[in-house]
Chain A
C-alpha cells in the first residue's frame, strides 16, 4: 500500500489524492489504521496548561493527518518532562505538578515530536474548601440538584436543593442547617449523612452518586472537616469556560477526549474536566461519556458536544465528513445563482454531500406558489409557464408571485400563529383588530424591524390598536419576556425564569433584566374576567413599576441579554431602549432569527431548527450561510419580500426532492428539497380551488378563504384535521406538519370533500367537466394540472382515461369517472405534500 505522502508526491495535486488515497483503502475506520501512519504534525492542547503544584492536570495530544483529519493520540504518545522535579507524567493525558517553576512537556509519536513549556503555579493559598467554588460543582456533577431529584419543588425525602444551584445560599442552608443539622457531622466528617447517602452506605433512593475515596468524596470531607466555609474572602467567580478541542473533523468510529478549563475573574485557570457535565446534541452522530470522551459513530454529519460547569457553557464541534469525498471539481462546476448557493456548495463539500438534480419547471412553479402564497398554481398558469421558452421565466414567475396579494395573508397567518391570543380570554374585538393589523402590515410589506418595533412599543387601547391585545393576553413582564425573546431573538429564555438555563449561559438575572423593560407598562380598564372578556384596556407607561429578582429580591435594571446596561432617561419608556438595542444592525440575535424564519417558510425547516431555538448546543447547519443570510436581510433593510426573492432565486431552493447516493440521510443541509405537508389553511383552500366549490365559513363574508380566517374558532373540520393551531394552547408554537390518521380519514371519507365532488353548481369543476364534451384525455389533463401542477404522463393518462365509460352517452358513468379521478388525485401523496 502506498503511503499518503508518496501518493501526494506522485500526483502533485492537492485535491485528487485525498479522494484517491481514501478510496484505495480497505476500510476508512480510524481503528484499522496504524496510529503512526500519515502523521503531519503533533499538537498539545490546551495551549496553556493549568498545572498547580501537588495537583494533576489534563492535556490532549492531536495528530494532524495528511488527509486533513485530526485524531486523538493522547493515549499513544510517549510523554516526557524536562524537569521531573517540577512536572511529572502521571498516566495517559495527565501530568502532575510537583513544584512551582517551569518545565517542558514533550510528547513523541513515531518520528514526530513536539513540546510545550509549562508553568507550574502554587495552589490557591491554604484557603479552606469553599462551598460555592468547590462543593456545588461536585453536587452538580453528581446530579444531586437535577430537577427530578433533590431539586424538585419539595425536594426529595425532605432534602431540597435548587435546580442547577440557582440559589447557593439556600442550598448551603439546607445542607448545613436543614434537618436540624443532621446532614453534616463536623466532628467526624466521613460519617456525615450527606456522604453516607451519596455513597449509598445508608439506603439512598438515588443510588450511588460517587464512591468513598473518590475526588468528589474527598472534596466534601475536606469541606466538612475544614469548617464548612460558604465562600472564601475575595473568592473569584467563574468568568468563562473553554473546551478543547474547539472543533474537529473526525473519521468514522473515532473518539476524542475533551478537556475543560474554567477561567476565573482574577485570571486564574482551573482544570474542571472532571466537574463538567457533557451532552451531545445529536447522539446518532456522536456520543459523549460522563467524563468527557466523544465517540463518533458511523454516520456522516455534524454535531456539537456541550460542556457545562457552574452555569457556564462551552462547546466542541464535531464534523464527520463522508467516507469518500467527491473531487473538488464536481463542486466548482456547480452553477451558483447567488451567495446562498456558493455557501451551500462549500458546506456540501466539507460534508461530502452533493446536491440533488434541479427540480422541473412544473415542480418549481407548484413549490414556489405554495411557499410564497399558500396557493396551488391554476391550470392555465401552469400551461403558460411550461410553454414559455424564456430562459428567465423562473425569475419572472418569482416576481409575479411576490406581487400577489395572497403573500400578505400567508405571512399574517404565520405571525398570527405566534401572536394571536384566544378570543375567549381577551375578547373578540381585540383579536380581530390584531388580525387586521397583521394583514395590513404584510400588505404594505412593512420592514420587519418596523413591524417588531410597533409591537414592542405598543401603547393604547385594545379596541383601537391591534398589537395591544398581545399585552392584554400576556399580562406579566415575565410572560412578555418569554414570548418576545423566543419570537424576536430566537432564544428560549423560559428556563431562566425559574433557574439558570440548563444548557445555555442564560441566568435568572438575564431573564429578569430583560423583563424589567416591561415593568413600567400598565393596563387601565376592564381586566380579564368571565366569561368572554369583552372589555377593553388601555396600556400606558408610567414612572412607577419595577421588577424584583424572585430569589435575591434585588430591583432589576433593564439590560438586554449579552448587551450593555440600558441608559434610560427619567420618565422615558424603557422599551424604546430595548427596541433600539434589538433592531440595531449590530444586534447578534434579531436579523438572524427573522431571516431564519423566512428561510424556514421556503425550505420546510430553518438553518437553525427549531427556528426559535438558537443556542450553542443547537448551532446552524450551515453557520456561514446563516451569517450571510442575516447580513443580507439587514442590507435589504429587513424587507421580507426582498429576502424571499433572494431565496427563491437560489439554485438551492430549486433542487429536486429525489436523493442521490450522497444525500439520502441529509435532513438538515438542504442538499435536496424536503417534502412537507400542506398547512391546514392551504389544504382547505386548495380543495375549494380544485373543486371550484368555495367553502362558506360561518361569521366570515361570502368568498372568504381559509387563509383569511381570524380565529381558530371559525368552524372548519378540514382545518381542524390538518392541525391549525389552537390559540388556547399556550406557547407561540410552530406548526406541527406531521401526518395524522385524522387527515387520511378526512380526505378519504369526509362529506366535506364528497359534497364538493358531487356539487352540481355550474361553476364546479366536476360538474363542468362532466357536462362538457371534452375528450377524456383533456379532462384528465385539467385535473392533473389542477392538483399536481403538471400534465399527466402517458401511462397515467391511459389509466385515468380508461375510467371513462365506453358509451359517450353514459352521463352518470362519465360523472363518476371525473369524481373518482379527482378523489384519487386529492388522496395522493403528490397532492398532499409540497415537494
Chain B
C-alpha cells in the first residue's frame, strides 16, 4: 500500500473552524427556510444517480487539464476539445467531451480533509467529521444524502428508495435516521449472464403461480391479531404494509422488467460497455425509471499514488468515459434527464505535482465534479482553479454548498433541523449556499 503523503494534515481546529458549533440549533428562524425548495416543488420529483469514485479521481487527467503548467504538473495527456468552443478536457474523457452539452462541471469545490475517510464523509453527507478520521476509515457521523432522500420520501410501490451497487460507500449510511434508511445493496456483476437483482425479484426456481399460492397460504395462516388502534403502536401493522408493497412489487410486470437487465436492447447494452460498471450505470437508469429515488454506484480504486498515466490510459477510464457518456445520452434520448440528477465525483482531487512514483497524492483543495440533469445547464463550467490547478480560485464552493444544492434539486430543505439519536438538534446542511449556476 502506498504512503499517503497528505494523510494527517488537518487539525482538530480546522474542523471546528468549519463550523461544528453551528450544528446546534432550534427551529426559530423559520423565515430563512424553504425558499429555493419551494421553487422546486410542483415539478416532477427528481431521482439521482451518483457515481462515486472512491479514492479521489484526478482533476488534471479529466475535467480540469492544465496544458500550460510545467510538465511535472500537466502530465502526459493532451487536451481534447469539447462540444463547447474554448473548453478543453483531458484525453481520458474524450467521449464525455463529446457530450459536454449535457452536463456542468464544477471545478471549484474544495475542502480541507485530505483523508479518504474524512473526505468521503464530507462529500457524501455535506458534513465534516467532528474528529479527524484516518484514510482507512469508513465512518458515519451524519446521514448520507441517499439516506436522507429515503427518509424524506419513504417507500413507494414497495421499492426501497435508496439503492447502492455493488456495495455501500464508506459514508453512505443513515446514521441517526435509522437502519431502515440504509441503502438496499445490489451486489454482483450485472454483465454476467446469470446476474439477478436479489430480494426484489422472485428467487430462482420459484414460478409466479407458486408465489401467488404461497401468498394465499400466508394470508390464511398469519393470524396474529393486529393492533389496529394507532395508539397501540403495534409494529405488526407497519410490517403488513411492507408485505403488501412487497407483493405488489413482485407482481408488477413493469418493476420486474426493470430489474431484468437482460431484457435491455443488446445495442443499448453495448453502448454502455459490456463490463460490470457500464452495466451498473444501465441498471441504475432502469431503477430510476421505475421510481427508485437514489442509486449510488460505488467504484473503488481511484487512489493513484503511482503511475497515474498508465492507470488513466487503462480500462477504468475507458469504462468510465464510455459508460457515463452513454448514460447521459441515453437519459437525454429517453426524456429522463430533466427528472434525473447525475453526479460523478470522488472525495477529493489529486496533487498538482506528479510524485517520484509517477502518481498524484490526495488534494482536497481542488476537485472537479460532474453534475447533470434536473435542470442543470449543459456545457457549463462553474468556477476555476489557478493556472497550475493547486487551488479552487474562482467561485469557490464547499461541500456544504454542494450538498445544499443536491438537496434542493431533490426537493428537500437543506436547512431543516433533524434530531440525532441523542436528542441533539442538527441542521441537515450547516449553512450551505446554493451553487447558483445550477439553478438558472
CB <8 Å contact, B7 and A530: yes
CB of A667 within 8 Å of the partner chain? yes
Q: When chains A and B are docked, how far (Å) is the Cα of A743 from the Cα of B243? A: 9
At the interface, yes or no: A22 with Cβ under 8 Å from chain B? no
Nearest residue (CB) in A for B31 is: A205
What 0/1 readout, one digit per residue, does chain B (1-27) give for beta carbons within 8 Å of chain A?
100100110000000000111111111
Residues of A with Cβ closer than 8 Å to B?
143, 146-149, 151-154, 156, 163, 205-207, 422, 424-425, 475-476, 479, 486, 492, 494-495, 498-499, 528-533, 610, 613, 658-659, 664-665, 667, 674-677, 717, 720-721, 723, 725-726, 728-731, 733-746, 748-751, 753-754, 758, 796, 799-800, 803, 816, 820-821, 823-825, 827-830, 832-833, 835
A665 and B232 in contact (CB under 8 A), knowing A739-B238, A824-B217?
yes
Extra A-B contacts (12), CB below 8 Å, given A675-B236, A721-B199: A147-B23, A148-B417, A163-B21, A206-B29, A531-B135, A675-B234, A738-B238, A741-B155, A741-B159, A754-B203, A829-B222, A833-B239
How does the 8 Å CB contact mask read for B22-43 relative to A, with 1 for contact and 0 for none? 1111111101100000000000
Among B29, B155, B179, B234: residue with most chain A CB under 10 A: B179
When each residue 149-182 of chain B gets 1 if its CB lies under 8 Å from chain A and 0 otherwise, what string results?
A: 0000001001110000000001001011011101
A664 / chain B contacts, CB cutoff of 8 Å: 227, 229, 231-232
Q: Which of B159, B199, B236, B249 has the most CB of A within 10 A?
A: B199
Contact A422-B218, Cβ < 8 Å, known A499-B24, A748-B243: no
CA separation between A25 and B236, bound complex, in Å?
Answer: 38
Whole-angstrom distance from the CB of B233 to the nearest CB of chain A?
Answer: 5
For B219-240 the 0/1 string (1 means CB < 8 A from A) is 0111111110101111110111
Query: Distance (Å) between the CB of B334 and the closest chain A CB?
Result: 27
Which residue of B has the minimal Cβ distance to A746? B199
| Nearest Cβ on chain A to B25's Cβ, whole angstroms | 3
Query: Which of chain A's residues have a CB closer than 8 A to the CB of B249?
Result: 745
Question: Is B242 an interface position by the 8 A CB rule?
Answer: yes
A152 and B243 form a contact (CB under 8 A): no
What residue of chain B has the Cβ atom nearest to residue A780's Cβ? Answer: B221
Contact B200 A745 (CB under 8 A): yes
B227 to chain A, nearest CB (A): 7
Q: Given A148-B417, A528-B134, A728-B138, A206 and B28 touching (CB < 8 A)? A: yes
In-complex Cβ contact of A148 among B28, B202, B246 (8 A) = B28
Question: How many angstroms between the C-alpha atoms of A741 and B8 in the bound complex?
Answer: 41
Could you pull out 9 A-B pairs where Cβ atoms are within 8 angstroms?
A146-B28, A147-B425, A151-B24, A153-B431, A163-B24, A530-B4, A613-B423, A751-B204, A830-B223
Bound form: Cα–Cα A152–B202 in Å: 51
Interface secondary structure of B, over-half rule: loop
Is B135 within 8 A of A530, CB to CB?
Answer: yes
What 0/1 pattern do residues 264 to 295 of B give for CB contact below 8 A with A?
Answer: 00000000000000000000000000000000
A723 CA / B184 CA spacing, docked (Å): 11
Contacts A494-B424, A531-B136, A824-B214 hold; do A744 and B239 have CB atoms under 8 A apart? yes
**Shortest Cβ distance from residue B161 to the other chain A in the assembled complex, whole angstroms:** 9
B206 (CB) vs chain A CBs: closest residue: A754
Identify the closest chain A residue to B213 (Cβ).
A820
B20, B141, B185, B246: the one contacting A153 at CB < 8 Å is B20
- Look across to chain B and name the residue whose beta carbon is closest to the beta carbon of A751: B203
Residues in chain B near residue A529, CB distance under 8 A = 7-8, 134-136
Q: B317 interface residue, CB < 8 Å from A?
A: no
Verify B239–A832 contact, CB threshold 8 A. Answer: yes
Q: Is the CB–CB distance between B200 and A749 below 8 Å? A: yes
Q: Judging by beta carbons under 8 Å apart, are B236 and A833 in contact? A: yes
Given contacts A494-B424, A829-B224, contact A820 B214 (CB under 8 A): yes
**Minimum distance in angstroms from A758 CB to a CB of chain B:** 7
Q: Is B116 an interface residue (CB 8 A)?
A: yes
**A146–B221 contact, CB under 8 A?**
no
Report the Cα distance A591→B177, complex, angstroms: 30
Also in contact, A494 and B422, with CB within 8 A (given A667-B233, A800-B221): yes
Q: Is the CB of A153 within 8 A of B21?
A: yes
Q: Identify the closest chain A residue to B3 (Cβ).
A: A530
